[in-house]
A and B are shown apart, each in its own frame.
Chain A
Amino acid sequence: MSTVKDWVRTRFAMISAILVLLYLFVPVAYTFVFSFNDYRKSNIVWNSAAGPTLKHWKDPCGAPGVCDALLTSIQIGAIATVVATVLGTMLAFALVRHRFRGRATSNVLIFIPMATPEIVLGASLLTIFVQGFSRFGLRLGFWTIVIAHIMFCISFVVVTVKARLQSLDPRLEEAGQDLYAGPGGTFWRVTFPLVLPGIVGAAMLAFSLSFDDFIITNFVSGDETTFPKFVYVSYLRGIPAQANVIGFSMFVIAVALVVAGQTIGNARRK
Chain B
Amino acid sequence: MTAGVAHVAGAGPDLPDPVPSAGRTRSLTAYLLLLPGALWLIVFFVVPLAQLFTVSLQSGFPGYPGYYYRDVNFGTYASALTEFAGHFGRSLLYAGLATLFAFVLAYPLAYAMAFRAGRWRNFMMICVIAPFFTSFILRTIAWRQILADNGPVADTLTFLHLLPGGRITETWMAVVAGLTYNFLPFMVLPIYASLERADARVIEAGGDLYANGFTTFRTVTLPMSMPGVIAGTLLTFIPAAGDYVNAELLGSDRSTKMVGNVIESQFFKVLGGFPTAAALSFTLMAIILAMVFLYIRRFGTEELL
Binding site for B on A (CB under 8 A): 9, 12-14, 16-17, 20-21, 23-28, 30-31, 34, 44, 87-88, 90-91, 93-100, 102, 106-121, 123-128, 131-132, 147-148, 150-151, 154-155, 158-159, 170, 173-174, 177, 208, 212, 214-215, 218-219, 227-228, 231-232, 235, 239, 243-244, 247-248, 250-251, 253-255, 258-259, 262
Contacts and interface: CB of A to CB of B under 8 A. Distances in A.
Contact of B37 (A88, A120, A248): A88
| Secondary structure dominating the interface of A | helix
Given A27-B146, A88-B37, A108-B305, A128 B137 contact: no
A93 B142 CA distance: 42
B108 interface: yes
B106 interface: yes
Interface of B: 1, 4-6, 8-14, 26-27, 29-31, 33-34, 36-38, 40-42, 44-49, 51-52, 55, 105-106, 108-109, 111-113, 115-117, 122, 124, 126-143, 145-146, 181, 184-185, 213, 234, 238-239, 241-245, 249, 260, 263-264, 267, 274, 277-278, 281-282, 284-285, 288-289, 292, 304-305
A124 B138 contact: no
Contacts, number: 276
Interface centre among B106, B138, B141, B305 (most CB of A within 10 A): B138
A100 B278 contact: no
| Secondary structure dominating the interface of B | helix
Given A24-B184, A120-B284, A154-B41, A13 B242 contact: no
B167 to A, nearest CB: 16
B180 to A, nearest CB: 10
Given A227-B135, A251-B130, A97 B285 contact: no
A44 B144 CA distance: 10
B305 A107 contact: yes
Contact of B281 (A14, A97, A124): A124
A115 B146 contact: no
A118 B239 contact: yes
A119 B242 contact: yes
A127 B52 CA distance: 6
A111 to B, nearest CB: 5
B102 to A, nearest CB: 10
Interface centre among A14, A99, A117, A127 (most CB of B within 10 A): A117
A106 B34 contact: yes
A151 to B, nearest CB: 4
Contact of B34 (A90, A99, A150): A90
Nearest to B14: A99
Contact of B106 (A20, A96, A120, A212): A20
Contacts of A154: 37, 40-41
24 contacts: A17-B113, A25-B127, A26-B143, A27-B142, A27-B146, A28-B139, A98-B26, A99-B12, A114-B304, A116-B285, A118-B239, A119-B244, A120-B49, A123-B263, A123-B281, A125-B48, A151-B44, A154-B40, A170-B1, A170-B5, A219-B267, A232-B137, A243-B135, A254-B132
Given A128-B47, A150-B40, A151-B41, A27 B5 contact: no
B41 A13 contact: no
Given A98-B30, A232-B137, A124 B288 contact: no
A235 B141 CA distance: 8
A124 to B, nearest CB: 4
B48 A119 contact: no
B242 to A, nearest CB: 2
Interface centre among B26, B42, B238, B242 (most CB of A within 10 A): B242
A24 B26 contact: no
A255 B133 contact: yes
Interface centre among A16, A107, A158 (most CB of B within 10 A): A16
Given A13-B115, A44-B145, A215 B244 contact: yes
A250 B281 contact: no
A97 B52 contact: no
